[in-house]
Amino acid sequence: MQALEEAVDALAVREGFSGVVRVDRGEGDGFARAYGLADRAHGIANTTDTMFALASGSKGLTALAVVRLIEEPILQPIYDLESPRMAFGRIAVVGDAAFVARPHVAAGVSKAADDAAALTEALQNEPDVETALKRFEAARLAQNYRIIERARHLGAYLQASRTQEEQARAGRHSTDAAVIAETAVLDFLYA
Ligand SMILES: Cc1cc2nc3c(=O)[nH]c(=O)nc-3n(C[C@H](O)[C@H](O)[C@H](O)COP(=O)(O)OP(=O)(O)OC[C@H]3O[C@@H](n4cnc5c(N)ncnc54)[C@H](O)[C@@H]3O)c2cc1C
């Protein structure tokens, strides 16, 4: 365990790793070490109690661990879903029924909530349902397209086959620094 701890220390320093490593083996045998900064602006170091916003960030690692444990893995393809419209007369589609983005943006819940909020706002402020649903669609359609497009950029590096443009996206968004800075971050919507 001592050798492993030293190896992890060396690796963390070499790679400039920021986060927490914990290894458990049996009762009381193991270690937990924190590296790097939790808040770069204020120079606050990570501790073993630091809470991290993982969102969908652990999915890749979990998938890798699961796939390694089974002899014949079943692969589940991921599709982008993009509805050309969200309002159809007196019917509206919201959340995942209208748009499903790749997990990298981790926007599924906030997207559904924003749709619901926009729908409520529109219904409260228009005299009839059809006009309200048009207002709702105008508020949400472009925003949802942006989320899907962003997810395509971030997820390009996991695609099996890629166009030249997707290869360029893959190069841009697959570095460790880019993945840490961009996964599950919605700042692009408000930039
Ligand atoms: C493994 C996993 C991890 C995820 N991680 C994240 C994450 O970290 N961050 C994030 O933002 N998003 C994440 N998502 C995506 C997020 O869960 C969805 O985008 C979000 O739940 C969509 O909300 P929704 O209300 O549109 O649909 P849903 O949450 O799917 O709700 C639809 C509801 O309708 C019900 N329903 C379906 N058919 C009928 C019917 N005929 N009659 C009545 N009810 C019906 C369903 O049972 C369900 O309860 C994850 C998704 C998965 C699968």
Q: What letter does residue 84 receive in the DSSP assignment? A: S
- Give the ligand 1 atom nearest the CA of 54: 8
Structure confidence at residue 158 (pLDDT):
85
From the list 125, 152, 148, the residue with the least C-alpha distance to 136 is 125
Q: Where are the alpha helices (DSSP H) in the chain?
A: 2-15, 59-69, 108-125, 129-155, 164-173, 176-182
pLDDT of residue 70: 85
**CA 100 to ligand 1 centroid distance, Å:** 10
Pick one of 3.40.140.10, 3.30.470.10, 3.50.50.60, 3.30.110.30 as the CATH number of 81-189. 3.50.50.60
Q: Where are the domains of the chain?
A: 2-52, 81-189
Tell me which DSSP letter residue 156 carries. G
Predicted confidence (pLDDT) per residue in 38-97, tens digit: 998 999 999 999 998 877 778 888 888 888 888 887 778 888 999 999 999 999 999 999
The residue nearest atom 48 of ligand 1, judged by CA position, is: 96
pLDDT recorded at residue 180: 87
What number does the ligand 1 atom closest to the CA of 56 have? 8
CA distances 20 to 37, 61, 146, 178, Å, are 10, 15, 33, 19
Q: How far apart are CA 67 and CA 61, in angstroms?
A: 10
pLDDT tens by residue, 98-142: 999 999 899 999 999 999 999 999 999 999 999 999 999 999 999
pLDDT at residue number 128: 98
pLDDT at 146: 96
Can you tell me which atom of ligand 1 is nearest the CA of 115?
A: 26
pLDDT at 97: 97
With a Cβ cut-off of 6 Å, ligand 1 is lined by 55-56, 95-97, 106-110, 112
The pLDDT of residue 54 is 77
The rounded Å distance from CA 79 to ligand 1 centre is 15
Q: What pLDDT score does 153 carry?
A: 93
